[in-house]
Amino acid sequence: MRVLVTGAGGFIGSHLTEELVKKGYSVKALAYYNSLGSAEWLDHLPKNVREKIDIIWGDIRDLSFICRAMEGCEGVFHLAALIGIPYSYVNPESYIDTNVKGTMNILEAARNLGIKKIIHTSTSEVYGSALFVPITEEHPLQGQSPYSASKIGADQMAYAYASSFDLPVVTMRPFNTFGPRQSLRAVIPTVITQLLRGDGLLKIGAIEPTRDFSHVSDTVAGFIAAFESDNPDIIGQTINLGSNFEISIGDMIELVGKTIGKTPNYEMQGERIRPENSEVQRLYCDNTKAKEMLGWTPSYAGLDGFERALADTIQWFSKSENLNLYSTDRYVV
């Protein structure tokens, strides 16, 4: 089966693309156009995987391009988005253009071409600070940042196309995914790289919020399970993907320090702290729906699973050829 993956060069997208190739899919991978011809993380995949990927460069904001890119495909995994929360405070309009209008382009092209199934990527950030835990898919949506508001808009567009045009779209809502290749816009690689390179002094933001961290392999497995599912009831649905385990940022830092063998100390930086009412204080996933509708369960569940996932991630970052790809001397917005 031939599928299109948007955002294929990103963190989750590259892992998804790699796994789809290993499973025998014919993959057309959309990377954001740049003059260097870089396909981001796709350039770092093993040669025997990369040579099987049809990489194309473009922009999801260009509907005519998206229609051409989607031709000949039976399915679409839509991951392309602006994801940096701090930058959404700086340029919120770009998040509307990319995340909302870009998603509408994907849906419109899929509708016109008769795509068999679309997997649309959401985020747990749309829930805002938990009003109840664990968080089910029925939890109210709260746009506490321009980023989360734009993703709410994208999710609602996916739901609208499913409802209005019977478009076969499923919205997958991963909680805080982490693992090899993640950028320093995320807290776990920020902590790992600083501890590996420094003396234990961390430049960090808020440590009180809690998160439900999921290893990237579990997120990828959930996406593929939804795509391969023959359960008609999942069409038009939103499905959480999370480990069903909650831990504070501070406790996560202690676990990373323990695994690496360094005692972390904190230096709080104002630029790394969100506006008070914009900070999401608590995220804790209820993954019952994914288990019941997809037969999916996380391989890295609970504290034990989180510790194993951290160890895997730290091992990858500890290799010099990987660590040298990251700069820890400045804050990445």
Here the CATH number for the domain that contains residue 174 is: 3.40.50.720
Pairing of strands 75-78, 53-58: unpaired
DSSP per-residue codes, 185-221:
TSHHHHHHHHHHHSSSEEEE---S-EE-EEEHHHHHH
Paired with 215 in beta bridges are 178
Residue 271 in 3-state DSSP? helix
The identity of residue 271, as a single letter, is: E
Judge contact between 31 and 56, C-beta under 8 A.
yes
Question: What does pLDDT average to in each consecutive run of 10 residues of the chain (333 residues)?
Answer: 97 98 98 94 97 97 97 98 96 98 98 98 98 98 98 98 98 98 96 91 93 98 98 98 97 96 89 93 98 98 97 98 92 78
The reply to whether 274 falls in a domain is: no
Residue type, 298: P
230: left (phi > 0), else alpha (psi -120 to 50), else beta? alpha
| Residue 43 included in any domain | yes
Q: Would you say residue 203 lies in a domain?
A: no
Q: Is residue 191 part of a domain?
A: no
Residue whose token pair is 């805080």: 176
Domain presence at residue 60? yes
Selection from 178, 333, 331 nearest residue 242 by Cα? 178
**pTM value > 0.85:** yes
Q: Looking at the domain assignment, is residue 279 inside a domain?
A: no
147 is catalytic: yes
Instruction: Examine residue 134 and say whether the peptide bond preceding it is cis (omega within 30 degrees of 0).
Output: yes
- Number of folded domains in the chain? 1
Is 92 inside any structural domain?
yes
Model pLDDT, residue 328: 87
Residue of 147, 284, 300, 326 marked catalytic: 147
Query: In angstroms, rounded to a whole number, what is the distance separating the alpha carbons of residues 16 and 262?
Result: 32
Residue 307 lies in a domain: no
- 145 and 125 Cβ atoms separated by less than 8 Å: yes
pLDDT of residue 198: 85
* Domain of 58, in residue numbers: 2-178+214-241
Q: What is the pLDDT of residue 329?
A: 82
